[in-house]
Amino acid sequence: MSTTPLPGLVLRGIQAPLPLADFKLIAFDMDSTLINIECIDEIADAVGKKAEVAAITEATMRGEIADFRESLRRRVALLEGVPVEALQQVYDQRLQLNPGADILVAACKAAGMKVLLVSGGFTFFANRVKDRLGIDFARSNLLDERGGKLTGRIVEQSWGAICDGAEKRRTLIEVASLMGISPQQAIAVGDGANDLPMMGEAGLSVAYHAKPKVREQAKVSIEEGGLDRLLEVLA
């Protein structure tokens, strides 16, 4: 059952307003959620492979390719030979925060919440977005490079090789545990199929201009306007 108290904002199984004080942690996906682009697609543009990579990205986010790890490896392999400076060009020229991202993050921090960025994208962008928004913690994938060029591989980090849906879920649970809270005291915001595991664990799941499969399962679906529309649901 769904209700629509305001145009472009769909609630399922909940009644607004929800007390903001009930939540201590908010976890965001990055690409197409906090920011306006899929970074991997824009990097691929540097070697004329954007269409090929973007098609795989779209199918993965829609849930049509179930194995995110294999999908990511396939796409990253196509980036072999891309100059590392292309990442900075993508950040400077193409990456923008999605509307309301700064407002929502600032409101959550003002309420005493911790803010987590957990992304199937890359540390080059995640760390910059983290610093830009004052986010507390970020986890994402690390692109391998050699001689100033990408190798087409992903570097294994202390927590594992690839931040996929399962790792997003695990990270949310881990951070909640370290904070001494239940995952039910967390909010998870995303747009793609690989966000569903963490969204399913959180007390409040939020879809932002999301793929149909994600909209259908989220408790809140923001279908018009910016991320700060979530504040219409919280009090």
Catalytic residues: 29, 31
Query: How far is Cα of residue 220 from the mean position of the Cα atoms in its chain?
Result: 16
C-alpha to C-alpha distance for 214 and 156, rounded to whole angstroms: 28
Nearby residues of 219 by Cβ (< 8 Å), 6 or more positions away: 11, 12, 13, 14, 204, 205, 206
Note whether 35 and 209 are within 8 A (CB): no
Is 204 strand, coil or helix?
strand
Note whether 40 and 75 are within 8 A (CB): yes
In the chain, what is the straight-line distance between the N-terminal and C-terminal CA atoms, in Å? 22
Planar angle of CA 206, 211, 213, nearest 5 degrees: 80
The one-letter amino acid code at 51 reads A
Check residue 61 and give left, alpha or beta (phi > 0: left; psi -120 to 50: alpha): alpha
Note whether 69 and 105 are within 8 A (CB): no
